[in-house]
Amino acid sequence: MTDPSSTTTQLTATPDDLRLVLIAASPDAARAASTSRKPASEPWPTVVDVAAPDEAAEVDAVRRSLDETHTRLVGFSGRILSVTEMTPRLKNGTKLAERCGLADASFPLPVLTGWTDLRVLEIYADWVRERHADALIALQPALDAYLQLLPYRSFAASLDGIDITDDNTLLLTGTCRRGASEGPTPPPEAVTLIVSDLDSNTLLTVPTTPQLRVDSGVRRWTGFTATIPADQLPIGRTKLEVEAEGPAGFDPPRKRVTASIGLSAASRPLIVGGRRLQPVPVASGAAHLLELVVREAGGLAARLGWSRTMAMHDLKAAVRRQPFAWVRLARLLTRPFVRKPIWLVGERADTARDNGYHLFSHLRRERHDIRSYYVIDRDCEQRERVAGFGHVVAHSSWRHRLLMLHAEVLANAYSIKHMVPRQWDGNTYMRQFAWRVGAYRAYLNHGVDVDTNALRRRVGGYDTYITTMAREAAAARATSGYDQQVVQAGLARYDALVPTPESRTILFMPTWRQYLVAKLFSTSDDGATLFEGSAYQRFILGFLTSERLAAVLERHDYQLRFMPHYNLRNELADVPVGSERITVLSGASADIQEVMLEADLFITDHSSVHFDIAYLGTPLIYSHFDNAEYRAFHATPSWFDHERDGFGPVVDDLESTIDAIEAYLVGGCRREAVYEGRAAEAFTYRDRDNARRNVAAIEALRP
């Protein structure tokens, strides 16, 4: 029987064929879900069912909606979906129903929307057995096939990284996406990794092991690992495919493995077990295909053969007018003019105040054997902070572009994309430039990562991922796709955390909200309309203009500084204040560490800077003023809980925030013993060698 996913039947999607049900915890959540993303076109007609505050209520809501459904298909979602989003699901469900012999079924069939799909399928299976037992006497095998194949509508796989183990075995890490993969246990269907030649002849098959990942705030079994002994790798140009078990009578779902953007960025030649290999991205229209090039290693002939293979690849890319085909030739021609090794260090293009700055200052003071350069905008305010060290390069200048051709290390506190010259497209750089140079990519971090999906290997492709705490490192390894790349070295900026005398100053420093701003590295201003009237904006305005806060500051003779997050600096640039004792700092140019050191009391919502404050010993307050929105649209599962693990009290509204502030001012801004104990246990290192450990971790990448 033909795999239903291969059919090309053109169907007209109409609302009469499919019913979309929005399941939310409350009316407010339903309204927020309906506006959290702008649909690509008009939204699909949706029935809103808000009676699902817990698991039992969710079961009841889904079952009730199924009872009331009279369309052929039904879908359940956590947000309003657009016609553009729903049409492929409708077409797939219709085609699959026909293939499985369910076109005339007397009961509705589910389609998947990406929202707790496994849970919905489990509820549906119980419901259909109970409500349509007679019909299932003849149709149970057909329904089983439908439910098994349904998750593979969105079947896709990518390779995210290759590591070498101690026994000369390759550990392949990748992503294998399919629906209904968010349960507590892996999907039952085994997935096999297939190595084949470019004519699709199978050369090697290996089993995969499913791995947990965090996707859109939900833990899903979308990761995989596979091991291949190096001496078993076929010589030549090969491709990778994944194949999942399918029901009897159907071709098993099978997909070619693509190159994730993270793999492309981190790809470089590897020598293991007498073989030289490299995963090479191959552009093919909109797809980012992958070839695994394997040759014998050792000897002049082998090296020349490898160079010839890569030169032919570049020549073909040049003929097809693909970007960055010129990179290796440019490196060869300019090599006599560049001394190595070269490390390029940076943060955002206009900042020098975080771990990039502190690592660079350490390199320029202590490691003269490394030719380190700091990349920053020519005219930005913070350039003067690094100018005295020398080796400062203007962002996007010809010198910057030349050094990118020869850099051995790229180290950034936020994202390597911040260091890409503006003349180059960031994504194209990662997919087509980076693997031709092979620079090691170091993520210096800009705080302790409390979100388990803050970094994903398939997106960032970092060779070193700096962490501070043991639990942070464990959480990063658990779901990010990184493993040996995670290094517990401490943040370089911690070397400068030295307590200062009392200043009678309070620092208020909330973090940003991803749903209130345009997507990073985008020129869109869509986030501006969402910010107006948000719970975040209302609290900031209410707090800074509070007459009671002004009176508390006056009564105790304190100043309050407000530091907007960099990503919300424009929205809060002209925010009003209700007292001369309140100052609004620049989210772009202020020296964050300096104002932190001067603070006697720190207030935040969820900013990871609270770890710096705890390291210093300064008392702090967590104000969860928009907790429902934050957890619904920004937060992801975390190993750190403010109530259980935090270094200060947790409050949830304006009045309780001011209450907590006044309590600390009355008590002389002293941190309580319970929080002292938590801070003492949290930090692995309490020294001034963090930058040195960062450098050692990066140097360890060299073979």
Span 346-367, average pLDDT = 97
Whether residue 38 has pLDDT greater than 70: no
pLDDT attached to residue 525: 52
Whether the Cβ atoms of residue 82 and residue 43 lie closer than 8 Å to each other: yes
Whether residue 283 has pLDDT greater than 80: no
> What CATH code is carried by the domain that includes residue 181?
2.60.40
Question: 475 and 516: one domain?
Answer: no
Whether residue 55 has pLDDT greater than 70: yes
Percent of the chain's residues with pLDDT above 70: 92
Residue 410 lies in a domain: yes
> What CATH code is carried by the domain that includes residue 395?
3.40.50.11820
Question: 417 and 473: one domain?
Answer: yes
Q: How far, in Å, are 215, 363, 515, 632 from residue 628 at the CA level?
A: 20, 44, 13, 6
Residue 321 lies in a domain: no
pLDDT attached to residue 424: 96
Whether residue 113 has pLDDT greater than 60: yes
At residue 552, φ and ψ (nearest 5 deg) are -65, -45
Whether residue 6 has pLDDT greater than 60: no
If we measure between CA atoms, which residue out of 657, 673, 675 comes closest to residue 665?
657
pLDDT attached to residue 632: 77
pLDDT attached to residue 161: 97
The total of structural domains in the chain comes to 4
If we measure between CA atoms, which residue out of 407, 388, 393 comes closest to residue 335?
407
Question: 290 and 355: one domain?
Answer: no
Domain boundary among 119, 135, 153: 153
Question: 148 and 159: one domain?
Answer: no
Q: How confident is the model at residue 105 (pLDDT cuts 50, 70, 90)?
A: very high
Q: How confident is the model at residue 566 (pLDDT cuts 50, 70, 90)?
A: confident
If we measure between CA atoms, which residue out of 247, 135, 224, 217 comes closest to residue 175?
224
pLDDT attached to residue 367: 97
Residue 323 lies in a domain: no
pLDDT attached to residue 53: 77
Q: What is the pLDDT of residues 201-239, one digit of tens each?
A: 999 999 999 999 887 667 889 999 999 999 999 999 999
Q: Lowest-confidence range among 20-34, 136-150, 646-660?
A: 20-34
Query: Residue 570 is which amino acid?
Result: N
Domain boundary among 300, 332, 351: 300
If we measure between CA atoms, which residue out of 569, 573, 614 comes closest to residue 596?
614
pLDDT attached to residue 527: 46
Domain boundary among 132, 153, 174: 153
Q: How confident is the model at residue 11 (pLDDT cuts 50, 70, 90)?
A: very low
Question: 569 and 525: one domain?
Answer: yes
Q: Lowest-confidence range among 34-48, 147-161, 337-351, 448-462?
A: 34-48
Question: 77 and 89: one domain?
Answer: yes
Alpha carbon distance 659, 676 (integer Å): 21
Question: 172 and 66: one domain?
Answer: no
Question: 279 and 160: one domain?
Answer: yes
Q: What is the pLDDT of residues 358-412, one digit of tens each?
A: 999 999 999 999 999 999 999 999 999 999 999 999 999 999 999 999 999 999 9
Question: 146 and 164: one domain?
Answer: no
Q: How confident is the model at residue 521 (pLDDT cuts 50, 70, 90)?
A: very low
Residue 312 lies in a domain: no
Whether residue 40 has pLDDT greater than 80: no
Whether residue 3 has pLDDT greater than 60: no
**Cβ neighbours around 117 below 10 Å, total:** 25
Span 304-329, average pLDDT = 89
Q: Print the domain residue range for 570.
A: 499-682
Q: Which residue has the higher pLDDT, 118 or 602?
A: 602
Residue 311 lies in a domain: no
pLDDT attached to residue 320: 84
Residue 318 lies in a domain: no
Q: How confident is the model at residue 14 (pLDDT cuts 50, 70, 90)?
A: low
> What CATH code is carried by the domain that includes residue 561?
3.40.50.12580
b/e 236-269 (16+ beta carbons within 10 angstroms → b):
ebbbbbbbbebbeebeebbbbbbbbbbbbbbbee
Q: How confident is the model at residue 84 (pLDDT cuts 50, 70, 90)?
A: confident
Span 549-572, average pLDDT = 94
Span 30-44, average pLDDT = 61
**Cβ neighbours around 652 below 10 Å, total:** 13
Residue with structure tokens 């407010």? 28
Question: 204 and 101: one domain?
Answer: no
Residue 576 lies in a domain: yes
Question: 91 and 104: one domain?
Answer: yes
Question: 38 and 85: one domain?
Answer: yes
Residue 34 lies in a domain: yes
For the chain, the average pLDDT equals 90
Residues near 616 by beta carbon (within 8 Å), at least 6 away in sequence: 497, 499, 596, 597
Q: How confident is the model at residue 530 (pLDDT cuts 50, 70, 90)?
A: confident
Q: Lowest-confidence range among 309-323, 439-453, 502-516, 580-594?
A: 580-594
Q: Lowest-confidence range among 165-179, 245-259, 301-315?
A: 301-315
